[in-house]
Amino acid sequence: MEQHHITRLGVVLGQGQALGTRIFQVIENVPVVQDDPNAVNLPEDGKGEIAFEEVSFGYKEEPVLENITFSIPAGNTVALLGGTGSGKSSLINLIPRFYDVTTGTVKIDGIDVRNLKLESIRNKVSFCDQETFLFSRSIEENIAFGNPLATKEEILQVAKASQIHDFIESLPDGYKTVIGERGVTLSGGQKQRLSIARALLADPLIIIFDDALSSVDIKTERKIQDALEALLKGRTTIFITQRLSTIKFADRIIIMEKGTIAEQGTHTDLLSKNGIYKRLFETQIDGLLDLEIIEEVEDES
């Protein structure tokens, strides 16, 4: 048969070379972000203090962040506010080293993140993203994604705190329900609540909510916030948010504008400054803010 002829070797080799090149491009690609040979683990008794020192950063030479300096004491909660494209998401991407800074340093517990083992950082930093990515596995596995050894009790605990337990129980297979199968599609809000449960179960030192409650209705948001209060104790927390209702949690507020920090301080500080925050605050009151929350914030500060 013709395919056995040795003359075919040339054709086959040519095809193989073309395919092989593409495969080896992937295999030999050197990750830009990788462990330094002398990288260390975060200390076991890490507290989760975050410090940005004169950080600048850009994608493809386009500067996104410029000269950012701030620190978050361990266990504190910070609300990060800012308009579309102000650099909030880029800023938090630098903490778990999804990208490396262009200049300056990002430190966790006083150690430059570039001197830490990636796995050690990422074990201690959890994310709840704006858009939740879930895997087509069971709900249980999705919640335990960052902590596959978690017990059923731990899973139930975080699911309840995230106000998603009742919904999961209402599904035909409960926690064993496989996402994406047989039309099991979740609404944006349900996905976000699962992502909160997932982040909590990883038991992180630092937890970042990137507009993670945007698709949850305010009633549910409040329930989640109440439940979160206890669970976030002792963890350094960053909330990126558009809703001022979330600032109820924050020890401090950072306002970003065009890649720089425009204002930072407590709610009272910022209101007295008569700047962006005040304007933002008034806009939202004008729009939709819950009176109770404002009162609470004002009482607390």
Partner 1 sequence: MEPEEEDFRRTISDTVLIKRMLKYLFAHKKLMFFALVMMITQTIFFALGPYLIKIILDNYIAQKRRSEFTIIGSVYLVVVILRVIPMYVQRWLLLKAGEKTIHNLRRDTYEKLQDISMEYFDNTPVGDSLARMTTDIASIQPIVSGEFLMAFSSLFMVIGGLIVCFSISLPLTLLTLSLFPVIIIFAIFQRRFVRKKWDDYREFNAKYISSMAEEISGARVSQSFARHEYNRLDFDKLNEEFYQKGVSAFRWSSMFSPFYETYTKLTIVLVLFVGGSMTLQTQGAVTVGSLVLFILYLNSFLEPLMIIAGLYALIQTSFSAFERIVILLDMPPLITEIDNSKPLDCHSGKIDLNDVTFSYSSGEAMVLDDFSLSIQPNECIAIVGETGSGKTTIISLISRLYDIQDGSIQIDGQDIRNVTLSSLRQAIGVVLQDPFLFSESVRYNLCYGKEASNEEIEKVLKLISAEFVYKLSDGLGTKVGERGGWLSLGQRQLISFARALITNPKIILLDEATSSIDPQAELQIQRALSKMLENRTSIIIAHRLSTVRAADRIIVLDKGKIIEEGTFDELLAQKGDFYNLHQLQFRQEEN
Residues that bind partner 1 (CB under 8 A): 1, 59, 62, 82-85, 89, 96, 98, 118-119, 122-123, 125-127, 129-131, 133, 135-136, 145-146, 148, 167, 172, 180-183, 185, 187-190, 198, 202, 211, 214-220, 222, 242, 280, 283-292
CB of 107 to partner 1, least distance (A): 19
User: Which tokens belong to 168?
Assistant: 């999961």
User: 3-class SS at 112?
Assistant: strand
CB of 65 to partner 1, least distance (A): 14
Q: Angle 188-201/218-231 helices, nearest 10 degrees?
A: 0
CB 246 within 8 A of CB 79: yes
Looking at beta carbons only, is 47 or 137 nearer to partner 1?
137
CB of 294 to partner 1, least distance (A): 8
CB of 220 to partner 1, least distance (A): 7
Looking at beta carbons only, is 188 or 234 nearer to partner 1?
188
Integer distance in angstroms from the first to the last C-alpha of the chain? 86
Looking at beta carbons only, is 57 or 145 nearer to partner 1?
145
CB of 17 to partner 1, least distance (A): 18
CA distance 273 to 36: 43
Q: CA–CA distance from 85 to each of 72, 78, 194, 280, 281 (Å)?
A: 23, 19, 26, 16, 19
- β-strand partners of 80: 240, 254
Residue with structure tokens 């361990």?
A: 74
Looking at beta carbons only, is 134 or 232 nearer to partner 1?
134
CB of 167 to partner 1, least distance (A): 7
User: 3-class SS at 58?
Assistant: strand
Q: Where are the beta strands (DSSP E) in the chain?
A: 50-59, 62-72, 77-82, 103-108, 111-112, 125-128, 206-210, 236-240, 252-257, 260-265
Looking at beta carbons only, is 22 or 219 nearer to partner 1?
219
CA distance 212 to 129: 6
Looking at beta carbons only, is 72 or 207 nearer to partner 1?
207
